[in-house]
Amino acid sequence: MKYMLIMRATDETVAAYRDIEWSEIMTSMGKYGDELIRAGVLVAMEGLDEKDSVVVDYSAEPPVVTDGPYGETKELFGGFWILNVASREEAVEWARRAPMTGPGAKVEIRRVASIDEFPQDNEWIQKERAWREAAGQL
């Protein structure tokens, strides 16, 4: 099963990290990533750039696009890991090891649904399955 571990932070978290050397942050994240790789559970890991982002708000017609990530920063998604693990419990154990510290720092864990869980007679699922097979993803 795949699980996404989403790095979440608040303004307080971001402020606390300003006092930590960038190389120290990268070293701790790098060691964690290396541990995931050696365990054979890492599918992907990425950081998200808050400076080059927009928000598309669909509550209006046409949708309104504003600079992102949020107008008022209460909670930011800073990056994510996607893990292929045997259970939610294993995903939780990996999340507990993540180098996330400070006030407001959290990791949200969400299961990634497999294409096999959707109705296979749906034409759009069939097209996606064909694309995934052609791209070597299945």
**CATH number of the domain encompassing residue 80:** 3.30.70.1060
Domains contained in the chain, number: 1
Q: Are 14 and 88 in contact (CB under 8 A)?
A: no
Global confidence as pTM = 0.81
- Please name the residue that has the structure tokens 């994240």: 29
Q: Give residue 97's pLDDT.
A: 95
* Dihedral over alpha carbons 73, 55, 48, 17 (to 10 degrees): -10
pLDDT (mean) for 45-67: 86
User: Nearest 5°: phi and psi at 44?
Assistant: -160, 155
pLDDT (mean) for 50-64: 87
Look up the domain containing 56 and give its range: 2-134
Distance CA 99, CA 4 (A): 16
84-124 per-position pLDDT tens digit: 999 999 999 999 999 988 888 889 999 999 999 999 999 99
